[in-house]
Structure 1
Amino acid sequence: MKQFVLLFLLLSGFSATSQVLRKRTVKLMGSRFDITIVAPDSLAAEQHIDMVIQEVTRIENLISDWKTDSQISRVNQQAGIAPVRVDPEVFALTERALHFSKITKGAFDISFAAMDRIWKFDGSMTEMPSPEAVKKSVEKVGYRNIVLDRARSTIFLKRKGMKIGFGALGEGYAADRCRDLMKAKGIEAGIVNGSGDMSTWGKQPDGRDWIVGITNPLRNDTLLAIVPLRQSAVVTSGSYEKFVVFNGKRYAHIINPTTGYPATGLCSVTVFGPSAETANGFSTSLMVLGKEAGLKLLKKYPEYRYILITDDGQVFSSPSLNLQTTKL
């Protein structure tokens, strides 16, 4: 689960090049989507926003684990029974997600959908779950029990009761896919922001870069930084709003799918890079891995940059972002 901590800053209206910017907010994939299109006129902009909505809806109908007739739901229904043939698009997304599960050694795991929700972050928890309950909550989670057959384009979950789900990774994929679709349609600039998974292309109508304001997670009425988006995607995962404290220790709502215990150490991770899907995988994984292991992983992917904020307010960022390492 991911908190949206990006404040989006832009200029709207006409520019000297007669390009117009239009923005629409809709609910898709169970989340808020903000769609911004820069086009020669308002009609064209609105028509292309409609196309984006249609594309996200198409993807949702393929991969949602909440829709009983989706391909992923059919995979889950056949867990422990038989492989399920899926479209190449669904297979490829699953393959990439499984790759992320492997490189993070389970810090990211698409089989998290089967996890029992024993942690409550609505104020109702009065004591820690027992170690036995925590262990049981993740007994059906395990990416190693997912079998992919590329030749047959099938997905098989070995254990009955297993489930896979893409969560916010699916929103990142949808944002990337819509960006590519709009570019193919001749739309030279825009933003698709799926609940904080933001994929951008081109520039604002006045020729300036798109920019995002990164919220200070310890004081969410202030900005930590304003960053030009010279790369096309940015994603933030955060845990500063939903957490519990037991014996003086803070437990975030982002759960480690391997251990069943909440992530600790980081309260916000922002990742910049060419793909919102991949940036989402990294931001979620780093929340679970923590600073040391997370940065060790991210160093293997130099096209992605980061801003990490620890529970005690320390800020660490990629040198190329030119942010001062400090304490909030």
Structure 2
Amino acid sequence: MKHVLLLVLLLVEVGATAQVLRKRTVKLMGSRFDITLVANDSLSAERHIDLVIAEVTRIENLISDWKDDSQISRVNQNAGIGPVRVDPEVFALTERALHFSQITNGAFDISFAAMDRIWKFDGSMTEMPSPEAVKKSVEQVGYQNIVLDKAHSTIFLKRKGMKIGFGALGEGYAADRCRDLMLAKGIKAGIVNGSGDMSTWGQQPDGRDWTVGITNPIQRDTVFAIVPLRQSAVVTSGSYEKFVVFNGKRYAHIINPRTGYPATGLSSVTVFGPSAETANGFSTSMMVLGKEAGLKLLKKYPEYRCILVTDDGRIFTSPNLDIKKYRL
């Protein structure tokens, strides 16, 4: 379940300060990464951007289900055969993903990677898939069939043909790791934005907070709110670009892993909180759960706040986010 970037990052580069801001855009994990760091000089900033790129590449080589030699690919190759030992880092990430599956009752599911891609959002679909085809497409999906053995750090997929993947968490996890790495290296401000999974820390060179502009998918060229960020993350899941319409109903590209049918009702969910990984888990889940169930879930986690936009353009927020303070 891939998210769509609806965020307009507002950066101010100020030359007349003691610190410099440097930004680089690269392709990592199959997606666009925008890396912005504030450092004492250009050389230090560029050198630390190199370290961020190296860290994301390291994580990609561990968890990518597209790389045949990654640990996750070995887990998938041994589905229905036997458990595979993985690094503690990979085990912990899988453990957190399973926790999300449990608290959302499967609205989020890392075994979604095994789903047959019967829905096409490239304009080629002319009719709805049959109910039988939809049911069959999710036969190998089911987080309940993932067995974790913490003592031996192994992952076992009980059913042959099962797969797990971190398309919905990997970039957020990488962004969080890089933020922590940069803080440990003495870089006191920056942004790591992995295709919309954004971790921020510190402030801009002129002392102002980083800010993010929020757009309404119905009016994508208009920013309706600007929200300040400090030592926090922001992630948007959206369905405004990829969808099909059958019998007057809009079906978006974010698929409910429990049913095989596209999510309906919300066109975007933006989640703010301390972790991009966790914010992504919430935003993806809430797209599937819908407004009422999504807000009920997030209420249990007061460190996280959200902005929801419905398919008809109405805007809702969690009770702990007063959007009036940030409206333009």
TM-score (ref. length: structure 1): 0.97
Matched residue SS, 1:222: strand
Contact 2:216–2:313 under 8 Å retained in 1: no
Matched residue SS, 1:237: strand
TM-aligned CA deviation for residue 317 of structure 1: 1.1
Cα deviation digits, residues 43-78 of structure 1 (max 9, x gap): 000000000000000000000000000000000000
Distance 1:231 1:168 in 2: 22
Q: Within 5 Å, which residues of 2 pair with 1:26-105?
A: 26-105=26-105
Matched residue SS, 2:234: strand
Distance 1:59 1:274 in 2: 20
Distance 1:322 1:144 in 2: 38
Distance 1:152 1:187 in 2: 36
TM-aligned CA deviation for residue 225 of structure 1: 1.1
Cα deviation digits, residues 61-98 of structure 1 (max 9, x gap): 00000000000000000000010000000000000001
Contact 2:255–2:262 under 8 Å retained in 1: yes
Cα deviation digits, residues 121-142 of structure 1 (max 9, x gap): 1111111000000000000000
Contact 1:168–1:197 under 8 Å retained in 2: no
Contact 1:197–1:236 under 8 Å retained in 2: yes
State the match for 1:170 in structure 2. 170
State the match for 1:249 in structure 2. 249
State the match for 2:311 in structure 1. 311
State the match for 1:3 in structure 2. 4
TM-align CA RMSD: 1.1
Superposed structure 1 runs of 4+ greater than 2 Å apart: 13-16, 318-322
- Aligned CA distance change for structure 1 residues 103 and 320 (closer, same or farther; 3 Å): closer
The number of residue pairs the alignment matches comes to 324
TM-aligned CA deviation for residue 224 of structure 1: 2.2
Q: Which residue identity does 1:7 align to in structure 2?
A: V
Distance 1:145 1:267 in 2: 31
Q: Which runs of 5+ in 2 are unaligned?
A: none
State the match for 1:125 in structure 2. 125
1:322 to 2:297 alignment: no
State the match for 1:287 in structure 2. 287
Matched residue SS, 1:43: helix
Matched residue SS, 1:151: coil
Matched residue SS, 1:212: strand
State the match for 1:19 in structure 2. 19
Which stretch shifts more, 311-320 or 213-222? 311-320
TM-score (ref. length: structure 2): 0.97
Q: Which residue identity does 2:72 align to in structure 1?
A: I
Distance 1:8 1:168 in 2: 21
State the match for 2:235 in structure 1. 235
Identity between Structure 1 and Structure 2 (%): 84
Matched residue SS, 1:59: helix
State the match for 1:150 in structure 2. 150
Q: Which residue identity does 1:8 align to in structure 2?
A: L
Cα deviation digits, residues 101-124 of structure 1 (max 9, x gap): 110000000000000000011111
State the match for 1:194 in structure 2. 194
Distance 2:318 2:231 in 1: 14
TM-aligned CA deviation for residue 230 of structure 1: 3.3
Q: Which runs of 5+ in 1 are unaligned?
A: none
Which stretch shifts more, 211-220 or 299-308? 211-220
Distance 2:321 2:296 in 1: 18
